[in-house]
Amino acid sequence: MVVSCEEVWREISNYLEGEVDASLRTAMEDHLRGCKHCTAVLDGTRNVVQLYGDERMFEVPLGFSHRLHRRLEENMPGNRRSFLGWMVAAAAAVLVAGSFEVARSSVFSRPELRSEHAQPGARVPPDMLVIVSGDGKTFHAAGCPFIHDKAHIRTIQAREALRQGYAPCVRCMKKYLTA
């Protein structure tokens, strides 16, 4: 049986506690003999288990807590600077979000297409008469064999079809689609 580094890492604590079967233990020992990285992981894990298993508590010198707090306060940035930094960051975020909102609601934006996979018809002549169906997503040239729901079709100008979110049929209007 051959084990990978990932398998050794996954089973390392079970290995240390003697809770792996004999074949896995043998395979892990063979791997550990040849892999310095996994041997280091084993030694490190063994050290951590040993440190956490030690019930002794460390006594810190008198006044250590006070000196630690004083040193931390000295290294902390000033409140005024951090407040101004946050205000600049917040103003920038508002400016960026406002720009996106203005761009999204711009009069130059295209209408939302009825199909997320549709291609806008940039070169469709605006006065061309096209056929649409009320519940459809595309507009067609007259005579297109792919018109659905022929009982509820109507004829409108391509400009109006595009304004309402219809997209050109990729079969009969392919010459007008953007590349």
What's the confidence (pLDDT) of residue 115?
55
Domain that holds residue 32: 5-53
Q: Is residue 38 part of a domain?
A: yes
What's the confidence (pLDDT) of residue 63?
80
Domains identified in the chain, total number: 3
Instruction: Report yes or no on whether pTM surpasses 0.75.
Output: no
Among 117, 118, 145, 120, smallest CA distance to 131 is for 145
d(CA 18, CA 43): 15
What's the confidence (pLDDT) of residue 5?
92
Class of residue 114 by CB neighbours under 10 A (exposed 0-12, middle 13-18, buried 19+): middle
Residues 49 and 9 in one domain: yes
Q: Please, what is the end-to-end C-alpha distance for the chain in angstroms?
A: 56
Report the percent of the chain where pLDDT is more than 70: 78
What's the confidence (pLDDT) of residue 163?
85
Name the stretches of the chain with pLDDT < 50: 116
Residues 14 and 42 in one domain: yes
Q: Is residue 48 part of a domain?
A: yes
d(CA 42, CA 153): 74
